[in-house]
């Protein structure tokens, strides 16, 4: 029989769960708890050897945190059968922002990536707290259509989602009303919905091109990128990695670079980017997580002075190995949707002579632990080793 304990929740983990230090000497993640709560929790799994954290379940809130609010969504919750999409809806919005900012600062300081030369900006709140999302993925098992349940891979049937914007909400209602039974091919299928589609494009298991999920914050990011790039003096050419369907490429094309090399995986994103036919842009379809694929880049792409990257949550992965090959590189604009992989990548980028000049967190997804980062790195000096490495790949 697992034991129950009482403790105050101290902070939130990287994945957004409340963290308690227990009288048994261990530290536990407790989903559904919020910093400041005094809770009773049941230990589900003590930490294994070499692990710092164990897992526990919330049994009772003895004293609620002053930051707690009643979630506006009827499906929200941390138990099986509840929607796990917006776990932070239990905290007021200003506390959500505070905890996101705290996590970013903590990671940067722990990794010693912030220097006297770094400007660390305040988090940019989302103008809309509800009705902000322009896309979502729902699941279907042949009978039920809905979102994935907290703590399991079961599906929670839903008939509305208050964080979706109007267009995507309408698509959701039409998608959940459809009879999918005859068409299901796997035990669990997905349906991608986004505001740019209409009902006739609702299909099972058909991946749609990536889109930034919050229109207001996307506009903010685009303006920020335009301003950041306009300050660069040497605007010969730029390499954009993880360009998607050209959301940022269109902004870059207005920033007086001579050539823009835009690389993206072979899929729906690059197809859209090619169709856009943006002046001065050279789209390149390639798997950026395969280092050997760098050979597919045109030689001129190794002569860029600026690099802009916006990788998925996994971070740069093998694509970071291109940095030492760019002998003329002096500015990196790194847009990240995962502070943990961002910090890991920055440790490598730092070894290449770059310093973090500016960083700002931005809240793209209210009521979740996700936080986006906008950053600029500049190089201290161009290392002769970098030039050598580049010559090697060109042979
Ligand atoms: C965070 S999105 C950025 C997209 C774009 N910057 C935008 O604002 O819409 C990351 C992009 O990386 C692409 N991607 C994921 N894995 C990749 C890979 N192995 N190689 C190249 N691109 C990849 C995804 O398709 C997606 O378009």
Please check whether residue 306 is in contact with residue 331, taking contact to mean a CB–CB distance below 8 angstroms. Answer: yes
Q: What is the CATH number of domain 111-126+214-394?
A: 3.40.50.150
CB 89 within 8 A of CB 96: no
- Establish whether residue 246 lines the binding site of ligand 1, counting it when its CB lies within 6 angstroms of any ligand atom: no
If one residue of 242, 246, 297 were mutated to test the ligand 1 pocket, choosing by the most ligand atoms within 8 A of its CB, it would be 242
pLDDT at 1: 65
Cβ of residue 241 lying under 6 Å from some atom of ligand 1: no
Kindly provide the b/e burial profile for residues 286-313, where b requires at least 16 CB atoms within 10 angstroms of the residue's own CB: bbbeeeebbeebeeebbbbbbbbbbbbe
83-134 per-position pLDDT tens digit: 999 999 999 999 999 999 999 999 999 999 888 889 999 999 999 999 999 9
Ligand 1 atom closest to residue 221's alpha carbon, by position in its atom list: 8
CATH T-level fold of 4-67: OB fold (Dihydrolipoamide Acetyltransferase, E2P) (2.40.50)
Closest CA to 18 of 2, 37, 44: 37
Q: Does the fold of domain 111-126+214-394 match that of domain 4-67? A: no
User: Active site residue: 22, 73, 337, 387, which one?
Assistant: 337
Question: Measured between alpha carbons, how far is 393 from 284 in angstroms, rounded to an integer?
Answer: 18
One digit per residue, the tens of pLDDT, for the chain of length 395 reads 678 999 999 999 999 999 999 999 999 999 999 999 999 999 999 998 888 999 999 999 999 999 999 999 999 999 999 999 999 999 999 999 999 999 999 999 999 988 888 999 999 999 999 999 999 999 988 888 899 888 888 899 998 999 999 999 999 999 888 877 666 677 788 999 999 999 999 988 999 999 999 999 999 999 999 999 998 887 889 999 999 999 999 999 999 899 999 999 999 999 999 999 999 999 999 999 997 778 889 999 999 999 999 999 999 999 999 999 999 999 999 999 999 999 999 999 999 999 999 999 999 999 999 999 999 999 865 443 433 333 332 32
Q: Is residue 22 among the annotated active site residues? A: no
Task: Tell me, using a 6 A CB cutoff, whether residue 38 lines ligand 1.
Answer: no
Q: Any bridge partners for residue 360, and if so which?
A: 374
Q: Kindly give the number of the ligand 1 atom that is closest to the alpha carbon of 287.
A: 20
- Indicate if ligand 1 lies below 6 Å from the C-beta of 247: yes
Q: Specify the pTM.
A: 0.93
**CA 270 to mean position of chain CA atoms:** 20
Q: Is the shortest distance between the CB of 285 and ligand 1 below 6 Å?
A: no
Q: Is the CB of 244 under 6 A from ligand 1?
A: yes
The domain spans of the chain are 4-67, 111-126+214-394, 135-201
Cα–Cα distances (Å) from 37 to 4, 97, 366, in that order, read 16, 18, 21
**What does the alpha-carbon distance between residue 369 and residue 155 come to, in Å, rounded to a whole number?**
21
Unique residue bearing structure tokens 């490598």: 348
How far apart CA 86 and CA 193 sit, in angstroms, is 18
Give the three-class secondary structure for 96: helix
Which of 312, 322, 335, 364 is the best mutation target for the ligand 1 pocket, counting ligand atoms within 8 Å of the beta carbon and taking the most? 312
């Amino acid at each position: 029989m697992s034991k129950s304990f009482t403790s105050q929740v101290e902070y939130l983990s990287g994945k957004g769960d409340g963290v308690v230090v227990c009288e048994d000497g261990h530290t536990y993640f407790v989903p559904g708890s919020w910093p400041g709560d005094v809770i009773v929790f049941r230990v589900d799994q003590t930490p294994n050897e070499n692990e710092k954290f164990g897992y526990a379940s919330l049994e009772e809130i003895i004293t609620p945190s002053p930051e707690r609010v009643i979630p506006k969504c009827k499906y929200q919750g941390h138990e099986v059968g509840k929607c796990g999409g917006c776990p932070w809806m239990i905290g007021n919005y200003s506390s959500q922002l505070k905890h996101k900012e705290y996590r970013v600062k903590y990671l940067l300081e722990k990794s010693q990536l912030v220097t006297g030369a770094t400007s660390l900006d305040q988090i940019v709140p989302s103008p809309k707290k509800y009705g902000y999302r322009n896309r979502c993925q729902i699941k279907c098992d042949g009978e039920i259509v809905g979102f994935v349940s907290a703590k399991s891979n079961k599906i929670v049937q839903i008939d509305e989602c208050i964080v979706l914007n109007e267009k995507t909400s309408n698509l959701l209602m039409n998608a959940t009303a459809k009879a999918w039974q005859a068409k299901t091919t796997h035990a669990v299928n997905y349906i991608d919905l986004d505001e740019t589609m209409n009902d006739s494009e609702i299909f099972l298991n058909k991946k749609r091109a990536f889109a930034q999920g919050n229109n207001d914050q996307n506009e903010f990011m685009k303006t920020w990128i335009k301003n950041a790039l306009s300050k660069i003096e040497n605007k010969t050419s730029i390499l954009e990695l993880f360009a998607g369907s050209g959301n940022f490429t269109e902004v870059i094309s207005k920033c007086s670079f001579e050539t823009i090399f835009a690389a993206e995986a072979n899929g729906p994103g690059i197809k859209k980017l090619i169709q856009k036919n943006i002046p001065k842009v050279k789209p390149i379809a390639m798997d950026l997580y395969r280092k050997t694929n760098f050979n597919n880049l045109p030689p001129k792409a190794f002569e860029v002075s600026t690099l802009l990257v916006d990788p998925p949550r996994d971070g740069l992965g093998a694509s970071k190995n291109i940095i030492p090959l760019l002998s003329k590189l002096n500015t990196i604009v790194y847009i990240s949707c995962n502070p943990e992989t961002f910090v890991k990548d920055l440790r490598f980028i730092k070894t290449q002579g770059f310093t973090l000049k500016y960083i700002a967190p931005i809240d793209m997804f209210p009521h979740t632990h996700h936080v986006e980062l906008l950053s600029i790195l500049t190089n201290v000096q161009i290392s002769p080793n970098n030039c050598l490495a580049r010559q090697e790949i060109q042979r």
